[in-house]
Amino acid sequence: MTRQRWLFGACGVLSLALIAAVLFRAPEPARAAAADEYNFDAKAALKVTMRSQVQHCEYLDQPSVKRLGGRAFLLGRRVSTLGLLTWVYLPVDEVAYIEEYVNRDDMIKAYPNLAPKAAPTNAGEAPKTTAEVPPKKN
């Protein structure tokens, strides 16, 4: 009788441990699609909202997906009000959501604060512009 109780108790404990392991396991990170599974249009523009404590958004022009070190990154030229041309890589597994626009002008219509502002100049000095440097292609 005690052997049966012990066996019944051990089976119960193992069953509860198995159920707890299935129910309370850590969530798996979001898996990004392979780079060739989704291609953005070359003229598209994106508003990318990142997962973080504070709302953090990036506005990208000429987006694409690249894989580096086994991780997928969203590559694009940052839309800047200062006219700076910076290419950024955003990890796809840290993206909360993406808004896609047909082109940069449509995104600027939706978010007028992104419109380029003229840089302050000294009297008689022409506004400075920056040259675009494309990212390295591997």
Q: Write down the residue that tokens 């995104």 correspond to.
A: 107
Averaged over successive runs of 10 residues, the pLDDT of the chain (138 residues) comes to 77 79 71 64 90 85 89 89 83 91 91 74 57 66
Residues 6+ apart with CB under 8 A from 17: none
- Domain limits of the chain? 45-112
pTM comes to 0.57
Q: What is the pLDDT of residue 101?
A: 93
Q: Which CATH class is domain 45-112?
A: mainly beta
Q: What is the pLDDT of residue 34?
A: 57
Q: How far is CA 14 from CA 1, 9, 18, 23, 91, in A?
A: 20, 9, 6, 14, 40
